[in-house]
Structure 1
């Protein structure tokens, strides 16, 4: 009997297409799902693997269709943002069905909501749910686990994102508009997770050579402030993004860019941990194409979950709670996703 397929919600978007292609390259059966039947059928024909690909229409307001999708999949990979609007119904269907779930969210509120609202149900049904299993979020969460291993008390973790050449999709632009317009933001300071007004400032992050110190926007609204404190004894967590990223002309004007253009992103993600008594550690990854790297992260996670490897407990988990951090990062390095320096 064949194992249940891996479902991709939002399969006809840029990230969904990357995820579908990556899964097929690993000989996985997949289900393409979303809200546009015509686009899903066209993608299925384009992938040209009729024995491994099927289509399941599931509008966000059709709870029965979403539940059926989750009940017949081993893992559901959610690729359709903004997650502030799409996240809850898809994640809730997975939790109710006991289907493992990963998504590509960046929004801290969505991440926080999953931990607060679906934890008990996922534990009951046996679902492992990992929000933001993508470029933004998971990689920093895993790096933080590696950097702080053996540290008993951490004063501060700072995540620095250096991104150039980012070409946003329509969904990414909608997400950015929502996040930029937020007055109340999720932060983690002095050991407390808060939601409230935050002053946005410029600061400098010391990226290692050849990048060097860069002016940053801080805080950058990603979900690490929700996930990292779950497994690191830290007082304050903050993410920062190079201010030059949003100054590049193409970032908001490239919604019609093709896959080759989108792949021209360059990045470094660096994590700096400062010990309570002084001193500390750091690590970073460096590579290209944040879209493909995010797709590979979610596929690696989905395959580990589908095969029942590594994760010993059900529930809503961060990437580093679900998987052994350093082996996961090394595996991605082997696949060519980035270069890791620890």
Structure 2
């Protein structure tokens, strides 16, 4: 019996192509899905043949037909502020497991608030925020904080150079940084409202060293991390120079090899009243890291390795350290974790 099909919605975008190729490399049957039938057919030809499924975001019948054809759908077409709801609802309606690449706080919160009951009712697993931004920080926070108590603060810090935004990523960034109703997590509770950005310094270990950061940045950790780490404050930060690099916003149409030329270190501090722990992951090509993470998640769900019906963040859905170690073995990054966990 052949493995079940895994659908990739937004398959013709940069991340979608990486996901589709990664699934094929794992020997999985893939359905290429999205809005542009011609582009889907061209991608199918590039991959040596694959079924395609055209489905616009406002065509709920077509989206449900996609869910009915697959065991898992990986949603790659941002901004998820606009695209997340119809695909997630169709997956639940069609009884199909779901993984998305969202980093948007409000979409992630909506997934937990609105989709938990439909997912349980349908017996499906929905994993949100399985992305580089937000997702890698969540997995690291779950790993570093394991077994700790009386946690004052969790900080996830992203040092990124050479990030070249796709059209979808640029639109997502514009939406995120224009949002005046940001979600924060302070004093052990979620808050929504205007946040005044500030400059901070994060002490990355050598050879990177301390870096000036934008803090906080509106990533999904403030929603996902408190679900599995009992902390009084959660915050994400991003190196200030990341958006100062000229190519970040002028590189929508570069080739795949150029887009892959990014360097990253994602570090986590878990701070308690009498000390704390830190850990990090360093690698290249944040797009590939994000794509392969979603492939790993989808394959586990397709093979019955999920946590059961419901909505989960990355570190809730899978054992955090084991999942990170599997990604490290695939060459996506190098981990540096505390020994006293």
Distance 1:249 1:312, change over 3 A: closer
1:262 aligns with 2:268: no
Which of residues 298, 314, 317 in structure 1 aligns to 2:312?
A: 317
Q: Distance in 1 between matches of 2:185 and 2:21?
A: 37
1:291 aligns with 2:282: no
Aligned ranges for residues 139-154 of structure 1 at < 5 Å? 139-154=136-151
Q: Is contact 1:10–1:34 with CA below 8 Å preserved after alignment?
A: yes
Per the TM alignment, residue 97 of structure 1 is displaced from its structure 2 partner at its CA by 2.0
Q: What secondary structure does 1:118 align onto?
A: helix
* Structure 2 residues not aligned, in runs of 5+: none
Match of 2:214 in 1: 217
Q: Is contact 1:130–1:318 with CA below 8 Å preserved after alignment?
A: yes
Q: Is contact 1:34–1:58 with CA below 8 Å preserved after alignment?
A: yes
Q: What secondary structure does 2:51 align onto?
A: strand
Match of 1:229 in 2: 226
1:187 aligns with 2:184: yes
Q: What secondary structure does 2:252 align onto?
A: coil
Aligned ranges for residues 246-257 of structure 1 at < 5 Å? 246-257=243-254
Q: Is contact 2:120–2:310 with CA below 8 Å preserved after alignment?
A: yes
1:93 aligns with 2:107: no
TM-score (norm: length of structure 2): 0.97
Which of residues 97, 105, 108 in structure 2 aligns to 1:108?
A: 105
Which of residues 278, 282, 301 in structure 1 aligns to 2:274?
A: 278
Q: What secondary structure does 2:232 align onto?
A: strand
Q: How many residues align?
A: 337
Q: CA RMSD in A?
A: 0.8
Per the TM alignment, residue 134 of structure 1 is displaced from its structure 2 partner at its CA by 1.4
291-300 vs 124-133, which moves further: 124-133
Which of residues 322, 331, 336 in structure 1 aligns to 2:331?
A: 336
Q: What secondary structure does 1:106 align onto?
A: coil
Per the TM alignment, residue 135 of structure 1 is displaced from its structure 2 partner at its CA by 0.7
Per the TM alignment, residue 117 of structure 1 is displaced from its structure 2 partner at its CA by 0.6
Per the TM alignment, residue 57 of structure 1 is displaced from its structure 2 partner at its CA by 0.5
Q: Distance in 2 between matches of 1:307 and 1:186?
A: 35
- Deviation track 1:69-113 (CA, whole Å, cap 9, x = no partner) reads 011111100000000000000011112222111111111011001
Q: Distance in 1 between matches of 2:85 and 2:155?
A: 29
1:174 aligns with 2:171: yes
1:81 aligns with 2:78: yes
Per the TM alignment, residue 333 of structure 1 is displaced from its structure 2 partner at its CA by 0.5
Match of 1:41 in 2: 41
TM-score (norm: length of structure 1): 0.97
Q: Is contact 1:4–1:72 with CA below 8 Å preserved after alignment?
A: no
Q: Distance in 1 between matches of 2:258 and 2:104?
A: 25
Per the TM alignment, residue 278 of structure 1 is displaced from its structure 2 partner at its CA by 2.1
